[in-house]
Amino acid sequence: GAVVSQHPSWVICKSGTSVKIECRSLDFQATTMFWYRQFPKQSLMLMATSNEGSKATYEQGVEKDKFLINHASLTLSTLTVTSAHPEDSSFYICSANKKGKGHNEQFFGPGTRLTVL
């Protein structure tokens, strides 16, 4: 199988604090992980591509100083929302690339719901 976990599954924080979300590939190594954001009743929007051992690549309009991504190992990527504000409240989903025969596949984590008060 290919399982991706996220921790925490939900978090509530005060405005101005920072929150770290972990994404782990449990049974495979992922050189590339992705972070998505989903607003209520909307689709997933790719925020950034996280590559192990190098800097993340951010999509246009995503503040890299606001959303810090670290891909410290082949099984772990973290997203830190710095100085969170209520408008950062959202559902954050990560995915990880698993190498396969002839092509790779993406497997999604269960998501983390962030609420900023």
Q: Is the CB of 16 or the CB of 26 nearer to other proteins? A: 26
Residue 58 touches other proteins, criterion: CB under 8 A: no
Residue type, 61: G
74: left (phi over 0), alpha (psi -120 to 50) or beta: alpha
CB of 4 vs other proteins, minimal distance in Å? 9
Site string for other proteins, 3-32 (x = CB under 8 A): ---x-------------------------x
Residue 42 touches other proteins, criterion: CB under 8 A: yes
**Which residues of the shown chain bind other proteins in the complex (CB under 8 A)?**
6, 32, 34, 42-46, 49, 91, 93, 95, 97, 103-106, 108-111, 113
